[in-house]
């Protein structure tokens, strides 16, 4: 993936192959500390062990997709606010993909879906410094130009499959990071009491299956429920068919596809 230096204003490390861009960037930050600037981005043309949520791997053909990680130092955010990073990363990607279709949504907490198919996975790893977030590494796998998928993943899709033509990966990467930087700078500079509700509202409007009753599964089995809201700490609040509210943290419930 070649990037136009006149348009790409972030520190960029491009790798032909790595096991995981998150691991690579994390190790780099551990070794060089403050020498690694905020928004430094590691992008790979191929990952041998890309990490996803719940310990899953991420399938991606070589030179076809976006596999990248970016480092932030959100020391102005308390640890209890870390879900806001998940929101602004997923919104940045979803809003870039909106250039091609209105059918993109955010599947709680931060997967990006096209209709009923997954196009993007996000893994955010935070290091805490006391009660604040010292460092955040945001890893993203976004299917761009992959024509077919070979693994047993149930529902992958790429932008190529949606649009019928190849897209410029470099341009999409640049646009996502520009959008993320706007969100991030606004979060850092503006009064959080006024900006956080705006982010939460945008996130709520973007949620997958945000209307109607749909199947979910928790430790007690499957049930039907409708989405009520997502709390500031990321807790998903549902209402089941009996009118009972149910609250879940990440990994406590799954949306049944």
DSSP string, the chain: ----TTT--S-EEEES-BS-HHHHHHHHHHHHGGGS-TT-EEEES-BSS-B-GGG-B----TTTSEEEEEEE--TTSBGGGTHHHHHHHHHHHHHHHTTT-S-EEEETTTEEEETTEEEEEEEEEEEEETTEEEEEEEEEEE--S-----S--SSB--HHHHHSS---HHHHHHHHHHHHHHHHHHHHHS-HHHHHHHHHHHHHHTBTT-SSEEEEEETTEEEEEEEEEE-TTS-EEEEETTS-EEEE-TTS-EE--
pLDDT of res. 50: 57
More confident call, 223 vs 151: 223
Give the confidence band of 129 by pLDDT, cuts at 50, 70, 90: very high
Residue 20 has pLDDT above 60, yes or no: yes
Distance from C-alpha of 72 to C-alpha of 77, rounded to nearest angstrom: 11
Distances in Å between the Cα of 73 and the Cα atoms of 128, 131, 185 are: 10, 14, 12
Give the confidence band of 60 by pLDDT, cuts at 50, 70, 90: low
pLDDT tens digits, one per residue of 32-42: 988 999 999 99
pLDDT of res. 48: 81
Give the confidence band of 122 by pLDDT, cuts at 50, 70, 90: very high
For the sheet with 245-248, list strands across it. 245-248, 236-240, 221-230, 213-218, 254-255
Report the pLDDT averaged over residues 72-76: 95
Residue 67 has pLDDT above 50, yes or no: yes
Report the pLDDT averaged over residues 149-164: 89
Average pLDDT of the chain? 91
φ and ψ at residue 251, rounded to 5 degrees? 80, -5
pTM of the complete model = 0.92
More confident call, 204 vs 6: 204
């Amino acid at each position: 993936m070649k990037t136009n230096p006149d348009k790409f204003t972030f520190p960029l490390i491009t790798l032909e192959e790595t096991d995981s861009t998150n691991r690579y960037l994390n190790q780099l930050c551990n070794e060089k500390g403050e020498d690694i600037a905020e928004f430094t981005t590691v992008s790979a043309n191929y990952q041998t062990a890309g990490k996803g949520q719940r310990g899953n791997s991420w399938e991606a053909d070589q030179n076809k997709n976006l596999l990248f990680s970016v480092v932030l130092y959100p020391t102005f955010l308390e640890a209890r606010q870390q879900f806001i990073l998940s929101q602004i990363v997923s919104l940045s990607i979803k809003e870039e993909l909106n250039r091609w279709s209105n059918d993109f949504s955010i599947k709680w907490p931060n997967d990006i879906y096209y209709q009923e198919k997954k196009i993007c996975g996000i893994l955010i790893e935070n290091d805490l410094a006391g009660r604040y977030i010292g460092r955040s590494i945001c890893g993203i796998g976004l299917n761009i130009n992959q024509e077919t998928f070979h693994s047993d993943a149930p529902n992958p899709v790429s932008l190529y499959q949606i649009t019928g033509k190849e897209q410029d990966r470099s341009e999409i990467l640049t646009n996502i990071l520009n959008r993320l930087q706007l969100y991030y700078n606004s979060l850092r500079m503006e009064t959080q009491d006024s900006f956080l509700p705006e982010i939460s509202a945008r996130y709520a409007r973007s949620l997958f299956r945000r209307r109607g009753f749909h199947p979910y599964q928790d430790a007690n089995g499957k049930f039907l429920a409708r989405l009520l809201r997502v709390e500031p700490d990321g807790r998903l609040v549902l209402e089941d068919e009996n009118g009972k509210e149910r609250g879940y943290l990440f990994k406590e419930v799954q949306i049944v596809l």
